[in-house]
Structure 1
Amino acid sequence: MLNKICKIYFSLFVVLSLNLFLISLFLIISEKSFIMEFCLLNFSNFMVNFSILIDWMSMLFMSFVLFISSVVVFYSDEYMKDELTLNRFIYLIVLFVFSMMMMILSPNLISILLGWDGLGLVSYILVIYYQNLKSYNAGLLTALTNRIGDVALLMAISLFLEYGSWNFSSFLEFFKFKENMNLIMVFIMIAAFTKSAQIPFSSWLPAAMAAPTPVSSLVHSSTLVTAGVYLLIRFNSSFSENMMKFILVLSLLTMFMSGLGANFEFDLKKIIALSTLSQLGMMISILAMGSFDLAFFHLLTHALFKALLFMCAGSIIHNFNSCQDIRFMGSVSKMMPLTSVYFNICNLSLCGLPFLSGFYSKDLIIESFSMLNMNMFVYVIFYLSMGLTVCYSFRLLMYTFLMDFNFSSLNMVSEKSEVMLESMGLLIFLVVIMGSILMWLIFPIPIFICLPFKMKILIAWFILFGIWIGCETSKFGLSYSLLSIQNYSFSSFSANMWNLPFISLMMNFYPLSMGKKLCNSFDQGWLEYYGSQKLFNSFIYSSKFFQLFSKNHLKIYCLVSVCWIFFFFFCW
């Protein structure tokens, strides 16, 4: 029996999602978009308006966010049933979704900032939900990294004052060649990179795995990490050519770093988190090449199979008594057959197997990328990253499903939760069929791809090579044991995401320690001594002195009379 609050929000989100999907279909067919403005405050000549942008992109994205959120709420009722604060957890998820909706719908930077800050604040609360040392550290790293993007967005808002409005959609094309706009775009890029965890802000995304698995499923599919990509899509027409190249290089390095790190990782949730980071790099790289519609297409398909992938991983972890190490798993398909089917379909969709949803967006991105005139570095990194994606996917498949069972002999691994299976079953059909549906909706005119046979078959070779490497290395028992023994520094360097977490902690440590010293010496030191405390003591002394005159003592009266006579005769 579903919790009452879960049932209410599940029904509400599903109905809203279906309605918004139908509205997006109407807007795609009619090729229309609307901007609605509401006056929140009108005082003299001061007016505050709240704007809503209704176009096919915002409606379609919001329908996906609401549907995935409804499934996550349904899933959470069983996964979090032992929590005393389940209702508070559901309210936090609803607040999280509301912040994302505000960010999606708004063409105004001020209301975008409200949704942006709402995402950062609620994500911090959700990451520290379990309230242990690991959660606190991960939450602090997440919050401090995202604050950099918040400051960048505030700087962009202040620079937009030159144009007289924060509704950027109305004048973005007109002012795109102004010098001030380039500086604004730099701040927008920094904000998007912090939210979507691109280099050098990548360390917070795997750390955020300290949150409960339903939160990870929501965050890594359609809400927090996709906010940066969505912001770049909205501002895509204003980036200069040099900035596009810079974004391309960083996103490609993020793809390569996360793909390489996932092959050395043994934590189930972190492997899937690093795959999210790799796919975000892929979206931003094709966006940097000018194809924002392809980036949005992959954003939607990726949201479906990544949400289900996390839910399957959560079901496995739930049955393995919260064990997340893939070395203890094996032969899961015998004990959890339906979850294994769902997991493998999502994994193959991530790899781009025809004709799952991930294939339509990923194959189109790769072939469109291959048609561009880029240098060898870009192509090598891009194709290697594709191969690494397949490599860690099949390595994960080997460890969890095909190798020997290494968990405790006294176990109760089975599929007993109907609620979790039903919630995953709601998504599996979309993972299979939604790619082709979205392709015909977003691209009514098919994209013509013309490639030589060697380029056409190149990605197939990289995929086969990745499958072989992933299967072979997992046979060692401890992945890459040869490298781990003879070249431990390389495996440690790769698994730790090129030491970005240490750099991030150092960057956070020194400002925080400096702030503590300044607080002790200034706020609680000199400023306290010569500031409020000094003023307080002066007021006490003066009030005590003047209080003497109100006590009506004869000696005080005589003393004042003498002083007055002396002043009258000698100082007049």
Structure 2
Amino acid sequence: MHIISICFISFISLFSMSLSLFFLSLKFLLMDLVYFIEWEVITLNSSSIVMTFLFDWMSLMFMSFVLLISSLVIFYSKEYMSEDYFINRFIMMVLLFVLSMMLLIISPNLISILLGWDGLGLVSYVLVIYYQNVKSYNAGMITALSNRIGDVALLMSIAWMLNYGSWNYIFYLEMMKSHYEMFIIGSLVMLAAMTKSAQIPFSAWLPAAMAAPTPVSALVHSSTLVTAGVYLLIRFNILFVDSWMGSFLLLIGGLTMFMAGLGASFEFDLKKIIALSTLSQLGLMMSILAMGFAKLAFFHLLTHALFKALLFMCAGAVIHNMKNSQDIRVMGSLMNQMPLTSACLNVANLALCGMPFLAGFYSKDLILEIVSLSYVNMFSFFLYFFSTGLTVCYSFRLVYYSLTGDFNSNAFHPLNDYGWTMSKSMLGLLVMAVIGGSMLSWLIFPAPDMICLPMHLKLLTLTVCILGAFSGYLISNVSLYFSNKALNYYSMSVFAGSMWYMPALSTLGVIYYPLYFGMNVTKSFDQGWSEYFGGQHLYSSLKYFSMINQFLQNNNLKIYLLTFVFWVILLVMLMIL
């Protein structure tokens, strides 16, 4: 009863807060309001510690979406984590995670952003190592250490902002373009965002973080941890218009999108495929943000959060029923065994692909049409459209392997749709994945701009999606029932399927060599020469001199001298006599 109560209370509280914040964000949006609140925490003499909060339509709407997804994830966890003895602790950690994200969203101040940022990093590490095995520990370590690079960059940007009047970057956004120092701060913030949102070359931690429980993955990969970097850059978006940073971020975002799409097409782990699709969508958000369309990036951030959380919840239900097997090759024909979960998974997948009139369509189609309309080089144009094709390709491949085809698991299996608590959570997000995109497009873009394109460019998105779907079906069919052609090009397949060797490079570059170097430095200097000439040498010298001093103080010398003098006098007297 106690377990049910904590889950249910958390769900009700977060859900009601989400609704309140959503209606409040509508008021702020329609009336064009911005509230900047300063809370004086403590004043000592003339020094005061002030906490600042920024409430505008963007922060309120993002918070409402985060709270909505969190409430449904906690409700979902009630059944998914029901066998866990410490489920209360798990719920508390998820709530702490959400709290850190809230602090990050409403902070216009780099110091309080760092508090939320590090809170996310710490709690994500604890949640990734939740299952306590070697694989989880390794995944947690690469997650924590990769994110530490961004934390250091954020700390350096805080130090650079000492040259200005305060750490409230929101005041200096207008003057950022003209000041050279602000480019340094912007570069450091961009580095921090790239580590948190797992852009190349920091992409390896994101699929590794799949070691966390599935409800955590649904939360992390939809609206919290990985979107923190994108959200921070949306706030700093003025810096990227017509600057080298925008061009660099456009390239990195495009390459991340392409690399993740390619990797997902070779992957067989259900959760890793969805994780790589998150990485691909993050690349899409980053690249459209780099082109100066911050509102559009935010729009895709919100729609993506809805269908990605649903996708992970469906994957969790499948894994739960498959007795913790994640390999899509041993699934198949799930639509006959789990029709409700399969329907939700299909809707989420189609929203991800940009199926017309689902949530993903409104943002993805708009992004691709804006790209077609903008001045963008051929390479970036190719990355945008080819990556979109790859998204549809791996989505249809996933559907073909898991939902349709032949049943490839054991004959005696427990597959069913009777997890009503999980199903209710999924149905709640299903509604949002269907209506969320159109609702948000009316709210964020109330006066739509006309995008005039030639017919072939207008139909290019649709054509790429159809070709991607056909390729996904064809590749799956051939490799599943005939022969796996990818094995004929083994080295190329390994390169594409292993995220361009990034996990190996990150493991060596971020974990092994730095720690090995640190160990050698510690042994040579800290426990070596500095010990010999420092603490240990001082100790042995003082000990030696102390012994001599003690010897002298014990009066032994005086006794020896007196005895020696006595015998000398005695001998002299004897000789005289």
Compute the TM-score of the two structures, normalised by the length of structure 1. 0.94
Equivalent residues in 2 for 1:133-148, closer than 5 Å: 133-148=134-149
**Alignment-derived partner of residue 322 in structure 2:** 320
Evaluate the alpha carbon distance shift between residue 412 and residue 382 of structure 1 in structure 2; reply closer, same or farther with a 3 A threshold.
same
**Alignment-derived partner of residue 527 in structure 1:** 530
How big is the shift at 1:261?
A: 0.8
Per-residue CA shift, 1:139-195, capped at 9, x if unaligned? 111111111101111111111111121001012212431111111111111110001
State the alpha-carbon separation in 1 of the partners of residues 530 and 415 from structure 2: 62
State the alpha-carbon separation in 2 of the partners of residues 215 and 355 from structure 1: 28
Equivalent residues in 2 for 1:17-96, closer than 5 Å: 17-96=18-97
How big is the shift at 1:82?
A: 1.2
Q: 1:417 aligns with which of 411, 416, 419?
A: 419
Greater shift, 42-51 or 82-91, is seen at: 42-51
What is the SS of the residue equivalent to 2:429? helix
How big is the shift at 1:132?
A: 1.0
Evaluate the alpha carbon distance shift between residue 480 and residue 251 of structure 1 in structure 2; reply closer, same or farther with a 3 A threshold.
farther
State the alpha-carbon separation in 1 of the partners of residues 539 and 15 from structure 2: 60
Instruction: Provide the alpha-carbon RMSD of the alignment.
Output: 1.9
Per-residue CA shift, 1:378-429, capped at 9, x if unaligned? 2111111111111111111111111101001121111221111111111111
State the alpha-carbon separation in 2 of the partners of residues 244 and 482 from structure 1: 41
**Alignment-derived partner of residue 270 in structure 1:** 272
**Alignment-derived partner of residue 394 in structure 1:** 396
**Alignment-derived partner of residue 14 in structure 1:** 15
State the alpha-carbon separation in 2 of the partners of residues 555 and 459 from structure 1: 103
How big is the shift at 1:484?
A: 2.5
Which one-letter code corresponds to 2:451 in the other structure? Answer: I
Q: Is the contact between residue 308 and residue 424 of structure 1 (CA under 8 Å) also seen in structure 2?
A: yes
Evaluate the alpha carbon distance shift between residue 394 and residue 385 of structure 1 in structure 2; reply closer, same or farther with a 3 A threshold.
same
Q: Is the contact between residue 473 and residue 479 of structure 1 (CA under 8 Å) also seen in structure 2?
A: no
- 2:119 matches 1:102: no
Q: Is the contact between residue 473 and residue 480 of structure 1 (CA under 8 Å) also seen in structure 2?
A: no
State the alpha-carbon separation in 1 of the partners of residues 494 and 56 from structure 2: 46
What is the SS of the residue equivalent to 1:278? helix
Q: Is the contact between residue 264 and residue 479 of structure 1 (CA under 8 Å) also seen in structure 2?
A: no
Q: 1:510 aligns with which of 475, 491, 513?
A: 513
Q: Is the contact between residue 264 and residue 480 of structure 1 (CA under 8 Å) also seen in structure 2?
A: no
Which one-letter code corresponds to 1:416 in the other structure? Answer: Y
Which one-letter code corresponds to 2:369 in the other structure? Answer: E
**Alignment-derived partner of residue 120 in structure 1:** 121
**Alignment-derived partner of residue 563 in structure 1:** none
Which one-letter code corresponds to 2:5 in the other structure? Answer: K
Q: Is the contact between residue 134 and residue 210 of structure 1 (CA under 8 Å) also seen in structure 2?
A: yes
**Alignment-derived partner of residue 472 in structure 1:** 474
- 2:160 matches 1:162: no
Per-residue CA shift, 1:276-311, capped at 9, x if unaligned? 011111111111111100000000010010001000
Which one-letter code corresponds to 1:129 in the other structure? Answer: Y
What is the SS of the residue equivalent to 2:95? helix
Greater shift, 215-224 or 166-175, is seen at: 166-175
Q: Provide the aligned length of Structure 1 versus Structure 2.
A: 559
What is the SS of the residue equivalent to 2:38? strand
**Alignment-derived partner of residue 233 in structure 2:** 232
Q: Is the contact between residue 363 and residue 437 of structure 2 (CA under 8 Å) also seen in structure 1?
A: yes
Greater shift, 539-548 or 78-87, is seen at: 539-548
What is the SS of the residue equivalent to 2:282? helix
- 2:180 matches 1:191: no
Q: Which runs of 5+ in 1 are unaligned?
A: 560-572
Evaluate the alpha carbon distance shift between residue 544 and residue 497 of structure 1 in structure 2; reply closer, same or farther with a 3 A threshold.
same
How big is the shift at 1:47?
A: 2.2
Which one-letter code corresponds to 1:147 in the other structure? Answer: R
How big is the shift at 1:545?
A: 6.2
State the alpha-carbon separation in 2 of the partners of residues 194 and 15 from structure 1: 33
How big is the shift at 1:481?
A: 4.8
Q: Is the contact between residue 365 and residue 461 of structure 2 (CA under 8 Å) also seen in structure 1?
A: no
State the alpha-carbon separation in 1 of the partners of residues 226 and 132 from structure 2: 23
State the alpha-carbon separation in 2 of the partners of residues 481 and 249 from structure 1: 36
Which one-letter code corresponds to 1:524 in the other structure? Answer: Q
How big is the shift at 1:375?
A: 2.0
Q: Which runs of 5+ in 2 are unaligned?
A: 563-577
Which one-letter code corresponds to 1:131 in the other structure? Answer: Q
Q: Is the contact between residue 136 and residue 211 of structure 2 (CA under 8 Å) also seen in structure 1?
A: yes
Per-residue CA shift, 1:47-89, capped at 9, x if unaligned? 2211000000000000100111111111111111111221111
How big is the shift at 1:22?
A: 1.2
What is the SS of the residue equivalent to 1:50? strand
Determine which structure has more spread, i.e. the larger CA radius of gyration.
2
**Alignment-derived partner of residue 565 in structure 1:** none
State the alpha-carbon separation in 2 of the partners of residues 265 and 114 from structure 1: 36
Which one-letter code corresponds to 1:532 in the other structure? Answer: G
**Alignment-derived partner of residue 260 in structure 1:** 262
State the percentage of identical aligned residues.
56
State the alpha-carbon separation in 2 of the partners of residues 39 and 553 from structure 1: 70
State the alpha-carbon separation in 1 of the partners of residues 505 and 185 from structure 2: 27
How big is the shift at 1:551?
A: 7.5
State the alpha-carbon separation in 2 of the partners of residues 247 and 554 from structure 1: 81
Evaluate the alpha carbon distance shift between residue 253 and residue 480 of structure 1 in structure 2; reply closer, same or farther with a 3 A threshold.
farther
**Alignment-derived partner of residue 339 in structure 1:** 341
What is the SS of the residue equivalent to 2:173? coil
State the alpha-carbon separation in 1 of the partners of residues 308 and 50 from structure 2: 37
Evaluate the alpha carbon distance shift between residue 481 and residue 147 of structure 1 in structure 2; reply closer, same or farther with a 3 A threshold.
farther
Evaluate the alpha carbon distance shift between residue 529 and residue 19 of structure 1 in structure 2; reply closer, same or farther with a 3 A threshold.
same
Which one-letter code corresponds to 2:334 in the other structure? Answer: V
State the alpha-carbon separation in 1 of the partners of residues 516 and 294 from structure 2: 42
What is the SS of the residue equivalent to 2:51? strand
Which one-letter code corresponds to 1:43 in the other structure? Answer: L
Per-residue CA shift, 1:308-354, capped at 9, x if unaligned? 10000000001001111101011101111100110000000001111
Per-residue CA shift, 1:69-119, capped at 9, x if unaligned? 111111111111111221111111111111111110100000101111111
Which one-letter code corresponds to 1:167 in the other structure? Answer: N
Q: 2:285 aligns with which of 283, 286, 298?
A: 283
Equivalent residues in 2 for 1:541-560, closer than 5 Å: 555=558
Q: Is the contact between residue 127 and residue 138 of structure 1 (CA under 8 Å) also seen in structure 2?
A: yes
Q: Is the contact between residue 327 and residue 477 of structure 1 (CA under 8 Å) also seen in structure 2?
A: no
Which one-letter code corresponds to 1:137 in the other structure? Answer: N
